[in-house]
Structure 1
Amino acid sequence: MSLITARHPTPAPAPEDDTSTTNITTTITTTTEKPVPARKLARGAGLGVLLALLATVVWSGSFVATRDMADTVPPVQAVFWRWIIALLAVAPFAARPFLRQWRTVRRHLGFVALASLFGVALYNTLVHQAGLTTSASNMGMIMAASPVIMAVYARLGGERLGARRILGMLTAALGVLLLVGKGSLAVDFAAGDLWMFAAALSFASYSALLKRKPAELDGLAFLFTTFLLGALMLAPAYAVSLTVQGGFTVGLATVGPLLYVGVFSSAVAFFAWNKAIALVGAARAGVVYYLQPVCVALLSYALLGERLGLLGGASMALILGGVALASVRGR
């Protein structure tokens, strides 16, 4: 009856004392507050996992494109043009939100600059540097170490991981180690592999920062600003590379991979990943990132004819099983 009274108020005599007024107010407030439906939460979590999967699949292809450019485009030049292309790709959608939120961006410029450093300038330069001395398959597999770092950041931030998620992460990590070590846990890393571990640390730091993105900062404005700042950070290194190493030949062999990493791996994948972090958090999205070695292996089989074999199939089963186990949300 209190809910009906709240929706259709009628004149009533003044209460005899303050206690009755307090009771009525409490009853109305308690009745009208409703928890968020579990179905809505499940839809949001499902969308977050799908977006993280989309970004992971697209980034898997970028390792193939990066390795393909390693002998023709210097790493810093490749990264610089990647973000120039990404800026042009998102400008029609993000320029207006960026201008509208310019004061908000300025207020949080320190946070945005830090995210630009880890996620745009540093991470991608390390990936392209690694492509000089390691294979695309190794690049994708080693990047699967980043979910472990994301989980550590999440735990340090006070997030409870739960036994199921930890077990799933360990299972997926075991599959990755077996895949990299070709059946052995003793892995001999090349110089490019070490560059990729540094890239994994940088990407995990970027993902952890995303969880703390100010709520008033629009997603597209944030994306555009990080791309812009990242390109500005790379400009001095680009000028040095151009002076010392010279430019690269513009042709289908270089423009095609640059368009892929600029439009899809940067604009599309970063938008999907940022949204996934907002919906499910860095640790849970990071679990989906374990699928990257599987995607890279499948792309290598489809494009390069590399067969997986029995060990590859078993490693994939461990990775997929671990991701499935860790991604399931408890009640």
Structure 2
Amino acid sequence: MTRQLDATPAAGAGELRLAHALVFITPALWCVNYLVARWAPGVIAPHALALGRWCIAALLLLALCRDELAAKRAHIRAEAGQFLVLGALGMWVCGAFVYIGGRSTPALNIGLLYAAAPVLIALVSALWLHERLRPPQLLGVALALAGVLYILCKGDAHALARLQINPGDAWVSVAVLCWAAYSLLLRAWPSAFGATARLALIACGGIVVLLPFTVLEAVLWLPTAWSWQALGLVLAAALLPGAAAYAAYSVMQRVLGAARVGLVLYLGPLYSALIGWLVLGEPIEAFHGIGALLILPGIWLATRR
């Protein structure tokens, strides 16, 4: 039977309101990660940053859901393979690869590249998960995508032909593909655990995958000299784009579905521009405002019931 892109029937009014609020809050949390990626070079190596981030996030999440994990410990072994796969996609690739890319590409570029993920998620959700987009939601996707493209080409359609891909963009593009896979598998694979407990176990799976690559990075490429600045970056990445953003994403997916929740990434370019202006002093141009006038109504149309 075809699953429509309406909210999950079990979701109450309070959950729906929370999920729709998180649509606009979560991208702001993720944008902190783009700033961390830009500040990390010269302070902490990419895999060391990703590993530290998820070790702290996992400890926090495990403390919050320890009773559920103890009650359902028999299910952990049954889902262990899923936790490793999701951890590799969401914590290793979408962590370390973004930090490697951030060494040579601006924060706004990272947000723009991640804005392509909703198209992949929506298309594969329709084909694989049978989540149907209704006409108003299709219009919302089109508007949001148009807004992202308008920002990408800075209001000049001919600028798209002049775009150049640097090595950092390539690393982030791989992370975008893996984020789409993470989002779809998170929705497709059933789990005995709630959102927080499942994320805690996925983070543990990610740590297992990250450990050997972190050691190889330190030995063969980029050792890290720990400092208070490095610890600050790890804490910022662990608390905001780590535990908080991923937990919010899990809640939104359960209530709203994979395709619609993927659309929150369309807000990345706007939030990246705003944070870049507030923190890095980067100017906000007129094309950002016009893009926002397309993206925000698009998000509303695509996520409405």
TM-score of the aligned structures, taking structure 2 as reference length: 0.89
Cα distance in 1, alignment partners of residues 20 and 183 from structure 2: 15
- 74, 96, 99: which one pairs with 2:45? 74
Residues 56 and 235, structure 2, Cα contact 8 Å, conserved in 1? yes
Distance 1:127 1:90, change over 3 A: same
Correspondence list, 1:202-221, <5 A: 202-221=178-197
Residues 62 and 265, structure 1, Cα contact 8 Å, conserved in 2? yes
Of the structure 1 ranges 95-104 and 126-135, higher mean CA displacement relative to structure 2 is found in 95-104
- 204, 210, 216: which one pairs with 1:240? 216
- 171, 177, 181: which one pairs with 1:201? 177
Shift of 1:62: 1.2
Correspondence list, 1:70-149, <5 A: 70-149=41-120
Correspondence list, 1:1-331, <5 A: 43-156=14-127, 157-183=129-155, 184-186=159-161, 187-245=163-221, 247-329=223-305
Distance 1:103 1:249, change over 3 A: same
Cα distance in 1, alignment partners of residues 117 and 177 from structure 2: 6
Shift of 1:290: 1.0
* RMSD over aligned Cα atoms: 2.1
Distance 1:222 1:300, change over 3 A: same
Residues 284 and 327, structure 1, Cα contact 8 Å, conserved in 2? yes
Shift of 1:181: 2.3
Shift of 1:246: 5.1
Cα distance in 2, alignment partners of residues 164 and 43 from structure 1: 24
Distance 1:284 1:42, change over 3 A: farther
Cα distance in 2, alignment partners of residues 245 and 288 from structure 1: 35
Shift of 1:129: 1.5
Shift of 1:43: 4.3
Shift of 1:263: 1.7
Cα distance in 1, alignment partners of residues 222 and 281 from structure 2: 34
- Alignment gaps of 5+ in structure 2: 1-6
Of the structure 1 ranges 215-224 and 123-132, higher mean CA displacement relative to structure 2 is found in 215-224
Q: Which amino acid aligns with 1:275?
A: V
Residues 60 and 295, structure 1, Cα contact 8 Å, conserved in 2? yes
Cα distance in 2, alignment partners of residues 135 and 242 from structure 1: 25
Cα distance in 1, alignment partners of residues 233 and 261 from structure 2: 26
Of the structure 1 ranges 97-106 and 294-303, higher mean CA displacement relative to structure 2 is found in 97-106
Cα distance in 1, alignment partners of residues 199 and 271 from structure 2: 25
Cα distance in 1, alignment partners of residues 15 and 69 from structure 2: 26
Residues 178 and 185, structure 1, Cα contact 8 Å, conserved in 2? no
Residues 287 and 323, structure 1, Cα contact 8 Å, conserved in 2? yes
Cα distance in 2, alignment partners of residues 52 and 113 from structure 1: 27
Shift of 1:232: 0.9
Percent of aligned pairs sharing the same letter = 28
Shift of 1:207: 1.0
Cα distance in 1, alignment partners of residues 289 and 22 from structure 2: 25
Of the structure 1 ranges 120-129 and 210-219, higher mean CA displacement relative to structure 2 is found in 210-219
Cα distance in 2, alignment partners of residues 182 and 136 from structure 1: 16
Cα distance in 2, alignment partners of residues 97 and 213 from structure 1: 19
Q: Which has the higher contact order (CA 8 A, sep 6+)?
A: 2
Partner of 1:28: none
Q: Which amino acid aligns with 1:262?
A: A
User: What is the aligned residue count?
Assistant: 293
Q: Which amino acid aligns with 2:250?
A: N
Partner of 2:3: none
Cα distance in 2, alignment partners of residues 267 and 195 from structure 1: 23
Question: Which has more radius of gyration?
Answer: 1
Cα distance in 1, alignment partners of residues 62 and 173 from structure 2: 32
Cα distance in 2, alignment partners of residues 313 and 52 from structure 1: 19
Partner of 1:11: none
Residues 256 and 303, structure 2, Cα contact 8 Å, conserved in 1? no
Cα deviation digits, residues 106-157 of structure 1 (max 9, x gap): 1122222222121122221221111111001111111111111110121012
